[in-house]
Copies of this chain bind each other. A is one copy, B any other.
Amino acid sequence: MIEPAVLTETLSHDLAALAPGGQVLTDDASLAEYSHDDAEWAPFEAPLAVVLATSTTEVAAIVKYARKRGIRIVPRGSGTGLSGGANGVRNCIVVSLELMREVVEINVDERYAVAQAGVINDALREAAAAVGLWYPPDPASSAISTIGGNAATNAGGICCVKYGVTRDYVLGLTVVLADGETVHLGRRTAKGVTGYDLTGLMVGSEGTLGIITEVTVKLLPLAGRVEQGIIGYFPSLPAAGAAVAAVSSEGIVPAALELIDRTCLRAVDDWLQLGLPADAHVLLLAKVDEPGAAGRELADRVAAIFTAAGGVDVEQAADSDDVARLFLARRMAYPSLERLGPVLTEDVCVPRSAVPEMLSRIQASAARHDVVIANIAHAGDGNLHPLIIAPEGDLDAKARAKAAFDEIVDDCRALGGTVTGEHGVGLLKLPGAAVELEPRVIGMHQAVKDALHPDGLFNPGKAFPQTAKA
């Protein structure tokens, strides 16, 4: 590791010359702001500088410059990551793609879109909708996260249970490699198997193999898509778990199947006074989007399953405003909890059938470590987000929260789960990944990274547990 031999002023001047269309930030407030993503619980350091690049050419120039000087680069979209993947490391420049906001092309006939990395997920969805197309992946951060960050972390979302995750939609990428060269990976045709799936390898690699500057995504037709919502309150976790299992075993693949637990419901209701039932332990929210009568029939079946499993106040909505109203509690869950203190967000994914058991174990962890844990979950996927809350400034509570976090990861593994369903390894899940991945598989990660990126200056120490070479 070569230490940077440049002073901040020189650095700032040089970077500004390399990114003439962009911005270079070196003031303390900016360096602090860009020193971490939404995972303050993970370690972070302030960067030497932040560059808001405006083109692939600028990114490439900065990479070449940094490489020559042994300066590390942490790429970043909106910084909404929850695992620390965009947290600053020692001796780094943060290269933010947030100003690269152009939707370059939407091809209606071939149903794909080309977007610069900084395009906001919702903006891409709106641009597609304007021409009758649909970009499904919908992380909870869709209003603020970028398509480049979504690709770098292989972001999930609510509709994944039926429609898959970001990787399932990425057809191609423009990537700046570690030596500053730019490559175009993938294709724009519906199918294609020319060579290794390097596009898929880049997706989810959390900026450790290259900087994604442009993304080509597959789109679906929007025509005829009508969502219907179904919700129900359940008196216990096992009752809700039985409902989730029954939906699956009846061969229904809902377009969403979300769970909110009592702690979360109370936080939402305390803030928004929605009049949610005070005695409800769990809220399940489902969507179906089959067309016409089939969709109505399916919604009725889901409602019947909810009722049969002990659900009460089971309600259906066919109108989109009404569906949005039913899902309001889900949308407001995270902000409602953030009001209570810094939230440490878990992201375990267990077998669907293990969801009730996993939720019970999470409750036990909360009690054992005396922390508040609220749960939202993509129940249809077995992907749980226990939200561990520790009051601001309470270091002891923070330590207890971290202990609960680790215990949840252990329990997830014991139930056959994976330590990160959709948020990525970043820094927070490195210990979990070290348990989940076989040592030789970790060695394969290191070998692939060393092969594509011998200097190791991109986002070092992230995405997988570092090890000796394979």
Tell me the bound Cα distance from A154 to B187 in angstroms.
15
Q: Are A349 and B192 in contact (CB under 8 A)?
A: yes
Q: Are A440 and B183 in contact (CB under 8 A)?
A: yes
Q: Are B290 and A190 in contact (CB under 8 A)?
A: no
> A199 — nearest CB in chain B belongs to which residue?
B200
Tell me the bound Cα distance from A177 to B440 in angstroms.
10
Q: Are B195 and A108 in contact (CB under 8 A)?
A: no
Tell me the bound Cα distance from A387 to B295 in angstroms.
42
Q: Are A445 and B195 in contact (CB under 8 A)?
A: yes
**What residues of B have a CB within 8 angstroms of the CB of A192 in the complex?**
349, 418, 420-421
Mark interface residues in A315-358 (1 if CB within 8 Å of B CB, else 0). 00000000000000000000000000000000001111100000
23 contacts between A and B (CB under 8 A): A109-B351, A111-B248, A153-B193, A167-B200, A177-B440, A183-B440, A185-B441, A189-B416, A191-B378, A191-B382, A191-B421, A192-B349, A193-B424, A196-B204, A196-B448, A198-B441, A198-B445, A201-B201, A220-B253, A221-B251, A222-B251, A223-B250, A447-B451
Q: Are B195 and A425 in contact (CB under 8 A)?
A: yes
Neighbour of A249 across the interface among B109, B156, B187, CB < 8 A: B109
Q: Confirm or deny: A74 has a beta carbon within 8 angstroms of a beta carbon on chain B.
A: no
**What residues of B have a CB within 8 angstroms of the CB of A313 in the complex?**
none
Nearest-neighbour CB distance to chain B for A213, whole angstroms, equals 15
Nearest-neighbour CB distance to chain B for A406, whole angstroms, equals 16
Of residues 410 to 446 in A, which have CB atoms within 8 Å of B's CB atoms?
A: 416-425, 429, 432-433, 436-438, 440-442, 444-445
Q: Confirm or deny: A393 has a beta carbon within 8 angstroms of a beta carbon on chain B.
A: no
Number of copies: 2
Tell me the bound Cα distance from A12 to B110 in angstroms.
53
Nearest-neighbour CB distance to chain B for A371, whole angstroms, equals 25
Neighbour of A425 across the interface among B111, B193, B441, CB < 8 A: B193
**What residues of B have a CB within 8 angstroms of the CB of A419 in the complex?**
194
Q: Confirm or deny: A31 has a beta carbon within 8 angstroms of a beta carbon on chain B.
A: no
Of residues 70 to 124 in A, which have CB atoms within 8 Å of B's CB atoms?
A: 108-111
> A419 — nearest CB in chain B belongs to which residue?
B194
Apart from A153-B193, A294-B294, 8 more pairs, CB < 8 Å? A160-B190, A190-B381, A191-B381, A191-B422, A193-B420, A293-B293, A444-B452, A447-B451
Tell me the bound Cα distance from A187 to B153 in angstroms.
17
Q: Are A201 and B197 in contact (CB under 8 A)?
A: yes
The 8 A-B pairs with the shortest beta carbon distances in the complex, nearest first, are A223-B251, A221-B251, A451-B451, A192-B418, A200-B200, A447-B451, A190-B381, A291-B294
**What residues of B have a CB within 8 angstroms of the CB of A161 in the complex?**
190
